[in-house]
Amino acid sequence: MTSDAFVQYLRLFDSFTDDETSLIRERFPAKKFYEGEQLCKIGEVCHTMNFICNGVLRIYSLNEKGIENTHFFLKENQFCCVLDSFTTQMPSTSAIEAACDTDAIVLHRQAMEMVYNEIPHLKTTINQIIQRSLIEKIALRNLYLGEDATTRYTNFLIRQPEIAMRVSLGDIASYLGVTQQSLSRIRKSMV
């Protein structure tokens, strides 16, 4: 895996010289994360932003009973980090985990700052992409609000079928706010 997917994606939003492209490839390495691997843990500072080339990452937190609540699934051509921790450099109240084997470009915060000094327009480009992504994530989560469990699952299958095929039933149940047993019953009733 190379950083070609990352560079191609950035070029959808901005143009880069050959030297800038080489710098981006050099400073932001590709890494494979295996299913269940933690990219950011609760209580730790999030030092990296990851651009997903292939796979699915999930952001989750723990409720007061220690039960995982999945907030978001992120897939190809999306950035993933715990943004408040990444921005403030304070310990994270959420975690990032590979929901399946995932190839990503790892953007370390310090490396980003160094590259931004050399390619100032890259910071604007990435910030615009992140803002657009936040709006999309909020709209998607709002789709599920106020709906019964069957409707939430149906909407999930319609809006995020590529995620439904690759992540565990337990993670989907956590995302939809139902128990895994309830989700199994819903799935059986839909057949």
Name the strand (E) or helix (H) holding 4. helix 4-11
Q: What is the pLDDT of residues 49-102, one digit of tens each?
A: 999 999 999 999 999 999 899 999 999 999 999 999 999 999 999 999 999 999
Q: pTM, whole model, 2 decimals?
A: 0.91
Show Cβ contacts of residue 114 under 8 Å, excluding neighbours closer than 6 positions. 27
Q: Is the pLDDT of residue 23 over 60?
A: yes
Tens digits of residue pLDDT in 123-154: 999 999 999 998 998 898 888 888 999 999 99
Residue spans per domain, the chain: 4-123
Predicted confidence (pLDDT) at residue 4 exceeds the cutoff of 90: no
Span 167-176, pLDDT tens digits:
999 999 999 9
The tokens describing 77, both together, are 């051509």
pLDDT at 110 over 70: yes
Dihedral angle at the C-alpha atoms of 31, 37, 42, 44, nearest 10 degrees? -40
CATH of domain 4-123: 2.60.120.10
In three-state secondary structure terms, 190 is helix
Report long-range pairs for 180-187 (Cβ below 8 Å, ≥24 apart).
Answer: 182/149, 183/149, 183/153, 186/149, 186/150, 186/153, 187/153
